[in-house]
Amino acid sequence: MELNNIQPADGAKHYKRRVGRGIGSGMGKTAGRGHKGQKSRSGGFHKVGFEGGQMPLQRRLPKRGFKSLATPYKAEVRLSELDTLPVGEVDILALKQAGLVSELARVVRVIASGEITKKVVLKGLIATKGAKAAIEAVGGSVA
């Protein structure tokens, strides 16, 4: 193989079809666009979802649901998960390092799910009434 005889693989390249160049080409007269109508004209096409003036499907169906943009920044932690942590003082950074909440979390809520047996001090976290009662029952505190 030399530089002067390198060529693309068979079928890799093909010529652009030239339409509207006479009857003999097989693509003359209407140039493959059929006869008359909006789609046969240059620049004549309608937007996606257009139904000829009929109320389009996406407007006929009811709106439904809501997706909060705050969701990735909120997190919940169970009491049983706090029990597994090796530290006594728990804040958002400690939870992120332990992998209990995502790196994006800004607001963390402790919920009363499971048991807690060791004393923990919560700093900068929100705790539900039940969770706060359970933490204080074992000698911990919520700051």
What is the reported pTM? 0.56
Q: Please report, in tens digits, the pLDDT of each residue of the chain (143 residues total).
A: 899 999 999 999 998 999 999 999 999 999 999 999 988 999 988 889 999 999 999 999 999 999 999 999 999 999 999 989 998 899 999 999 999 999 999 999 999 999 999 999 999 999 999 999 999 999 999 98
* Domain segments of the chain as ranges: 73-142
Give CA–CA dist 68/118, Å, rounded: 35
Produce one character per residue of 51-69: b if its CB has 16 or more CB atoms within 10 Å, e if not.
Answer: eeeeeeeeeeeeeeeeeee
CATH number (3.100.10.10, 1.10.760.10, 3.30.70.1880, 1.20.140.10) of 73-142 reads 3.100.10.10
